[in-house]
Amino acid sequence: METSRRNASASAGAGTSAIRVALLNVLLAFVGIMFLIPFLWIFSTSLRLPKNSFSLPPSILPTTFDFNNYAEVFRQIPFFLFFLNSLKIAVAATLGNIIFSSMAAYAFARIRFPGRNVLFLILLSGLMISNQVTSIPQFIMFAKIHMIDNSWTLAILWLVNPLGIFLIRQFMKSIPDSYEEAAFMDGANRWWIFRRIIVPMSVPAISVSSVMWFIANWNDFFRPLLFINSWNKMTLPLGMTVLTGTFGTGNISAVLAGVTLSLVPGLLIYIFGQKYLLEGLTIGGVKQ
């Protein structure tokens, strides 16, 4: 009799748990769809005639498949040139940021030296200062060394980022000390340990940081607007403003076609790096 009650209770508990999981999945699916609606509208509008861009009620799914808007993007602006400019700057800025951030993170996470925590707090205080506040001093500094209207200037501005150092440092702190101790016993130095042990084990955190800075740099509009003057050096976000027209009277469907094309790199990075991104987000969120 007692066994039957326990089985019935276990079955009821399992049923309740299954219902909760189902409701949670439905809720997550609803939230996911809500996030996808703006992107679906952008894509569907990029395939419509300009006169139907703001039809009411708005159509989320494509009603026509007119690819002339995409051809219009390439007719009005040198899209591939702007694309390559953005790609060059984003890749250079991301690689430089990861190198500097990983080295600084290793020092703060694995090396004990006087004032380490104080210096780290000072570094984190940089998160409270927006880019717009520091842009004027940066502009004056680069103007003095004649680096205005230089693509590499935009990459240099992203070399040091407190948030990237913080994310990688938190992950490196979770690596057991036994790995370093065994390497020291075998005669390895810190540079060898950093390159051959710590960095490979920190790939999930470095991947998350890389994607964050690549997309942030790829979508950056303010800094290129401030530092770039030449037409042939413009980045994609800056160059696509030409599509809006002088007084914002441009073809909105062509603008959204350009926006859709600009989303491709970030989407590809997520598709091919999804494994490392998920691993970094889950492991990095575990409190050590």
pLDDT digits (tens, 9 = 90+) for 93-131: 999 999 999 999 999 998 888 888 899 998 888 888 887
| Fold of the domain spanning 75-284 | MetI-like fold (1.10.3720)
What's the predicted TM-score (pTM) here? Answer: 0.80
Which CA distances in Å does 278 have to 53, 125, 137? 36, 28, 38
Domain spans, the chain: 2-45, 75-284
Walking along the chain (288 residues) 10 residues at a time, the average pLDDT comes out as 56 70 90 86 83 72 79 89 92 92 91 89 85 86 89 87 88 87 86 89 86 88 89 89 72 85 83 68 49
